[in-house]
Amino acid sequence: MANRAVIDMWGNSRTPERHRKNRKRHTMTAPRRPLIAGNWKMNGLQEDGLTLASAVGEFMKSQGAAGFEMLVCPPFTLIGAVGQAITGSGVKLGAQDCHPAAKGAHTGDISAAMLADAGCSHVLVGHSERRTDHGESDDLVNAKAVAAHNSGLSAVICIGETEAERDGGKTLDVVKSQIAGSVPGSATPANTVLAYEPVWAIGTGRTPTVQEVQEVHAFIRAELAAKLGRDAADGIRLLYGGSMNPGNARELLALADVDGGLIGGASLKPDDFAAIALSC
Ligand code: PGA
């Protein structure tokens, strides 16, 4: 069975080995399984959200024992319906934000416990659009990640520099201080994923070079090792995000310290999202 060719729903043939070859290995713990995560942002009404979720679920089911994981993060209003649509497919369900408190007088907010109760396994915290639109600080992002951990969710902690910071040669300084501030001491490979998303690459069609991405990811892993220990750093998955698409996914996902992608625009197109997953 190991060599069984699989025909996906788009008619492409592949073998399970193709997915295994790029799996990142390290010495002490299990290999890091690539995670292909879709961030739908503020997109999707019931009908198109369900169509998209069903397509992703069918694709995942068509893969059999895939060498990658898939995650979809719809807006809050679609979490229940999307959760039903992907039931049994293996696709994981996430939200795009949570409040740091477990419950209480926070009108309009959603707690991590509510997300877990609604079937989520993951939640994005500190996405640059929240840092910008809502003035979220590293301290707040850290508190949200802790809240996620306390509710049994995996936190996908987002970091990344602005264009001005990159032009000023400050990328590694910014990333270092975001890790120091946003990543809690409770972070482990089981409850935390980091997403490096250069702000200037989000939704722009521009990406850093693969050398630049690998340099930043290797730096992030070294910073995590200093903060959390080598084993934790070796096990935590590091996603690249920012204009990942079927045309650039393969070379980005092949990088030694890139363990998946956080995908915005292309995750709204099921064929593109599937093609990115098949690039692992
Ligand atoms: P993009 O968004 O893929 O549309 O650039 C990525 C993100 O913001 O998570």
CB of 264 sitting under 6 A from ligand 1: yes
What is the spatial distance between Cα 123 and Cα 117, in angstroms, rounded to a whole number?
13
- Identify the pLDDT of residue 166: 97
- Identify the pLDDT of residue 41: 98
- Identify the pLDDT of residue 192: 98
CB of 36 sitting under 6 A from ligand 1: no
Read off the amino acid at residue 151: S
CB of 265 sitting under 6 A from ligand 1: yes
- Identify the pLDDT of residue 26: 53
- Ligand 1 atom with minimal separation from the 202 CA: 5
Q: Which of 35, 36, 39, 129 to mutate to test the pocket of ligand 1 (most atoms within 8 A of CB)?
A: 39
- Identify the pLDDT of residue 29: 58
CB of 262 sitting under 6 A from ligand 1: yes
- Identify the pLDDT of residue 9: 39
- Ligand 1 atom with minimal separation from the 267 CA: 3
- Identify the pLDDT of residue 66: 86
SS (H, E, C) the chain: CCCCCEECCCCCEECHHHHHCCCECCCCCCCECCEEEEECCCCCCHHHHHHHHHHHHHHHHHCCCCCCEEEEECCHHHHHHHHHHCCCCCCEEEECCCECCCCCCCCCCCEHHHHHHCCCCEEEECCHHHHHHCCCCHHHHHHHHHHHHHCCCEEEEEECCCHHHHHCCCHHHHHHHHHHHHCCCCCCCCCEEEEECCHHHCCCCCCCCHHHHHHHHHHHHHHHHHHHCHHHHHHCEEEEECCCCCCCHHHHHCCCCCCEEEECHHHHCHHHHHHHHCCC
What is the spatial distance between Cα 207 and Cα 210, in angstroms, rounded to a whole number?
9
- Identify the pLDDT of residue 24: 61
Catalytic positions? 127, 197
Q: Could you give the C-alpha distances from 178 to 20, 155, 174, 252, in angstroms and in order?
A: 32, 15, 6, 22
Question: pTM score, two decimals?
Answer: 0.92
- Below-70 pLDDT ranges, the chain: 1-30
Q: Which of 200, 243, 253 to mutate to test the pocket of ligand 1 (most atoms within 8 A of CB)?
A: 243
